Amino acid sequence: MLLIPVIHKLAIMKLPFIWALLFCTACTHAQHSIEKVWQTDTTLAVPESVLPDNQQDVLYVSLVNGNPWDADGKGGVAIVNKEGKIINDHLITGLNAPKGLGKWNNKLYVADITEVVVIDIAAKKIESRIAVPGAQNLNDISIDSKGIVYVSDSKGNQIYRIQNGKAEVYISNLPSVNGVKAIGNDLYMVTAKDIYKAGPDKKLVKIGELEHGGDGIEPVGNGDFIVTSWSGYMYYLYKDGKKDLLLDTHEQHKNTADIGYDAAKRIIYVPTFFGKSVVAYQLN
């Protein structure tokens, strides 16, 4: 007669544990992974950044073609199709050490050491060069919905904002800042160690860390991002700061520089820098 009440009491006592277990299981992130789709020929002259152009259904690739920060006039921009075929590896020439790419109103914006180069895509020629006073090593570019250009200066540790053709310092004291992404009213920045978000008030909010330093950053929805470390690491970063390691090629000396992302197809485009190729991965 006493057995049933005792069992019932034990079941009640275990309920908090069961609910806690279910809660923790629900909160666990689903592990993300990637699958290689294609790789270009290894003939691209030090590709640093990839920018998908969905209107033209192509990829623009910045080519350093030399030492990373030499003003040698050997850099340029290539065009690759979305099947990995190099269409033109001399689309634009006469740049120095081009890196980040952005597109606005059929113009391509390229970070090139101390200036931002504006390219007329249809005419396939340089239209203008925007001087960035005080810049030392311009790196990544992002353009917001109003056409305002944000460009990182990795050596100067700051972000510049370019509006109406004029550049000014926007946020300072960002150690080795590299990747930058404008989303709505917010700006996301990848530094030597930390990933930050800043609103119009420029107040920095830390959203993640990268133990091997930061390079590219691309949003994948729900507040999550794909982020890279140049030395050969790529991560899926959740909005709570946790991350999955998607790719580790550092032992093969394959770099993971300034990535591009096709949100519709969930394809990540990775420029391998000294690996001289672009690799496409399906995000699962």
**Tens digits of residue pLDDT in 113-156:** 999 999 999 999 999 999 999 999 999 999 999 999 999 999 99
Structural domains in the chain plus CATH codes: 44-225 (2.130.10.10)
Q: Is the pLDDT of residue 19 over 90?
A: no
Verdict on whether the full-model pTM lies above 0.85: yes
As a whole number, mean pLDDT of residues 148-170 equals 98
Residue with tokens 């030597």: 192
The count of other CB atoms within 10 Å of the CB of residue 126 is 17
The 8-class DSSP code of residue 97 comes to S
In whole numbers, what is the pLDDT of the chain averaged over residues?
Answer: 92
Residue with tokens 């107040």: 203
Contact between 187 and 150 (Cβ < 8 Å) = yes
The 8-class DSSP code of residue 84 comes to S
As a whole number, mean pLDDT of residues 64-92 equals 97
68 SS3 class? coil
Contact between 47 and 277 (Cβ < 8 Å) = yes
What is the Cα–Cα distance from 153 to 203, expressed in whole angstroms? 19
The half-sphere exposure of 271 on its side-chain side, counting CA atoms within 13 A, is 32
pLDDT digits 0-9 by tens, 193-250: 999 999 999 999 999 999 999 999 999 999 999 999 999 999 999 999 999 999 999 9
User: 50 - beta bridge partners?
Assistant: 61
What is the Cα–Cα distance from 59 to 262, expressed in whole angstroms? 10
